[in-house]
Amino acid sequence: MIIEFATYGILVRAVCPGYVGTELTFANNSPEQLAGIAASIPLQCLAQPDEIAKLVVFLCSQDNTYLTGQSIIIDGGFTYK
């Protein structure tokens, strides 16, 4: 898919967020669970929705002209601990 779309100048990316502090996250986890999740993340906190949004804005902007074929993990280092 990447190669085919690249011929048309279409960039393809995926955003892979980790734990994000949303209403749904807070509704489905107890304070103790949330503390445990945060403690398991190297940055020691859940992402804020605007932190994920900033990446998406960049990917959709005119500043991104060459990043394609990537899945971008934005999880505070959780997958690399």
Residue 72 pLDDT > 80:
yes
> Among residues 37, 75, 74, which one has the least CA distance to residue 58?
74
Q: What is the pLDDT of residues 11-63, one digit of tens each?
A: 999 999 999 999 999 999 999 999 999 999 999 999 999 999 999 999 999 99
- Report how many helices (DSSP H) and strands (DSSP E) the chain contains, helices first: 4, 2
Name the fold adopted by 2-80: Rossmann fold (3.40.50)
Q: Where are the domains of the chain?
A: 2-80
Contacts of 67 by beta carbon, 8 Å cutoff, 6+ apart: 11, 13, 59
Distance from C-alpha of 20 to C-alpha of 50, rounded to nearest angstrom? 10
User: pTM for this one?
Assistant: 0.88
Distance from C-alpha of 38 to C-alpha of 44, rounded to nearest angstrom? 5
Distance from C-alpha of 28 to C-alpha of 9, rounded to nearest angstrom? 41
What local confidence, expressed as pLDDT, does residue 1 receive? 84
